[in-house]
Amino acid sequence: MKKILAVLGVLVVATMLCSCDKFMDKGPTNEQTQQIFENFFKKSIPIDWAGSMMGGKLKNITLTNVKRGESMKKSNNGQLPPDYSSTCQDCWPVSMRVKGVAMANMIFNWKEHSFEEETSFKLCKTYENGWMIFTDGRMMTGGM
């Protein structure tokens, strides 16, 4: 009887560890996170960085102090908030300092526009193992 209880105890603990492991993914490193954002920003940048409501394109950018926070699933008992759960496996808050130059679309010509700021995003891994970037609860288009 003691052996059966011991085996059951081990099975219960193993099951708990396996189920918890699903939402304890460490996610990308800070270096991988920086590379994901650099690749994304080559294709799409926020309008306020472009300096024009018509948008713009990136001329150059430097990302520093890139820090990825704890998994949103882990910090929320294994659940993502509804805004993210339909498309994403997990999300991580990311903060960084950005400095760069964009070419603002001024309809008939392009104008250089410098930007620099501390900013934050949510980096989310999709069910297809791609990446989505959210700012202010909205998905940024373009990029990956």
Write out pLDDT tens, residues 77-119.
889 988 888 889 999 999 999 999 999 999 899 999 999 999 9
**Stated pTM of the model:** 0.74
- Is residue 93 a contact partner of residue 75, using CB atoms and an 8 Å limit? no
- Is residue 29 a contact partner of residue 124, using CB atoms and an 8 Å limit? no
Beta pairing class for 138-139 and 56-68: unpaired
User: With 50 as the cut, is the pLDDT of residue 133 above it?
Assistant: yes
Domain ranges in the chain are 2-139
Q: Enumerate residues 6+ apart whose C-beta is below 8 A from 36.
A: 28, 123, 131, 144
Tens-digit pLDDT profile for residues 42-84: 888 888 888 888 888 899 999 999 999 999 999 888 899 888 8
Residues paired with residue 90 on neighbouring β-strands, in sequence order = 125
